Amino acid sequence: MKFRLVFYGDLRPKQQIGLAEVHRVREQFRPQLRNLWRLTPLSESGGVRRLPPTNGDIGIFENVSGVTFAPLVTARWDTYAELEVFLIRQSSNRSVLQDGGDIDNRLKTLFDALRMPTSSEVQTLRSQSPDVLADTDAYDVLLQDDALVTKVSAESDRLLDASIFADQYGAVPSVERMSLALITVTIKLSRTTFGNIGLSS
């Protein structure tokens, strides 16, 4: 199974930001993943999103410090992921990898945003803002754990015209750290089961 996720915004290196900034990146992926569940083949696996799962399905929900997450790539489904990242950044420098950290550290921010937060991270986020993760609906994320990513490739380039995002931000973004990330996700099976066979297409 292959699909693409998109992020646009402030994507700083991991060592320059806190959990709240990582979670803001995660928030962009949530509606994309929820919409993915409305499409085949995931739409045919609705039983895994019920509590308890129906028709003998293996549920994907994970409870982390009282918050319910719905990871798409999970050990329960015997799945793993390969990622291809195309990162486009605003930059006045000759190298898009200068000024604010290299691509590896920006990828670390993306990977943290694609996975479920840990129990301690959930507690910290909620202590900083009670409204964070307060939604009672299951919170869609790509990964149960980033250890389920077995292959990564990355390419970067310069964003030549930020005005294409003016409608979203009300003005042309001028912050050089604004980035556009296109993430191609390929889900593969470590073991074929009745529950995950639909993902092999």
Tell me: the pLDDT tens digits for 42-101? 888 766 776 655 555 677 889 999 999 999 999 988 899 999 999 988 765 545 445 445
What is the spatial distance between Cα 169 and Cα 95, in angstroms, rounded to a whole number?
A: 26
H or E element at residue 68:
strand 67-73
Residue that the structure tokens 């470590």 belong to? 190
In the predicted structure, residue 122 carries a pLDDT above the cut 50: yes
Provide the pLDDT for residue 73: 95
DSSP 8-state code for residue 64: E
Task: Please state, as a whole number, how many other Cβ atoms lie within 10 Å of the Cβ of residue 99.
Answer: 13
DSSP notation for 46-57: GGGGSSS-STT-
Residue that the structure tokens 């994970």 belong to? 62
**Average pLDDT of the residues of the chain:** 83
Using pLDDT thresholds of 50, 70 and 90, give the confidence band for residue 168: low
Interhelix angle 103-114/19-36, rounded to 10 degrees, is: 60
Contact call for residues 109 and 17 (beta carbons, < 8 A): yes
Provide the pLDDT for residue 30: 96
Tell me: the pLDDT tens digits for 9-39? 888 888 889 999 999 999 999 999 999 999 9
Contact call for residues 86 and 158 (beta carbons, < 8 A): no
What is the spatial distance between Cα 182 and Cα 106, in angstroms, rounded to a whole number?
A: 13
In the predicted structure, residue 183 carries a pLDDT above the cut 90: yes
Percent of the chain exceeding pLDDT 90 equals 44
Using pLDDT thresholds of 50, 70 and 90, give the confidence band for residue 119: very high
What is the spatial distance between Cα 57 and Cα 44, in angstroms, rounded to a whole number?
A: 11
In the predicted structure, residue 190 carries a pLDDT above the cut 50: yes
